[in-house]
Amino acid sequence: MSTSFARDALLKLRWALNGIDGASVLILSRSSHGTTSELKGRDISNIGRSFMTLKDGTMVPFHRVLSIKEGTVTVWSRRSKDIDVEDHHVLGG
């Protein structure tokens, strides 16, 4: 998927045949420096201009998105050498 912005990639997935449910979004967590969380596409209720809203009401700004996968394929990734990822956990269920 050729797009420069996480929001655009999510919108393309949402309107694709398979939809966004099978996607996963890796984000930089606010909890502590360098940790990441994985959001499930099925938990995204809205894709706004500068953030996405999860079904539980959590608002996640797009500048925290590190990568987006559809199944095992990375469809979008932020190229950043200044992010040091130490820990990772999955959000939602």
Determine the CATH number of domain 6-90.
Answer: 2.30.30
Cα–Cα distance measured from residue 8 to residue 82, given in angstroms and rounded to the nearest whole number: 23
Which of 83 and 11 is assigned the larger pLDDT? 11
Percent of the chain exceeding pLDDT 70 equals 81
Cα–Cα distance measured from residue 69 to residue 91, given in angstroms and rounded to the nearest whole number: 15
The predicted pLDDT at position 86 comes to 43
Percent of the chain exceeding pLDDT 90 equals 58
The predicted pLDDT at position 79 comes to 72
pLDDT in tens, 69-90: 998 889 899 874 444 444 444 4
Cα–Cα distance measured from residue 13 to residue 20, given in angstroms and rounded to the nearest whole number: 5
The predicted pLDDT at position 82 comes to 41
Mean pLDDT of 6-32: 88
Cα–Cα distance measured from residue 72 to residue 53, given in angstroms and rounded to the nearest whole number: 23
Which of 87 and 66 is assigned the larger pLDDT? 66
List, in order, residues 6 or more apart from 33 with CB less than 8 Å away.
84, 86
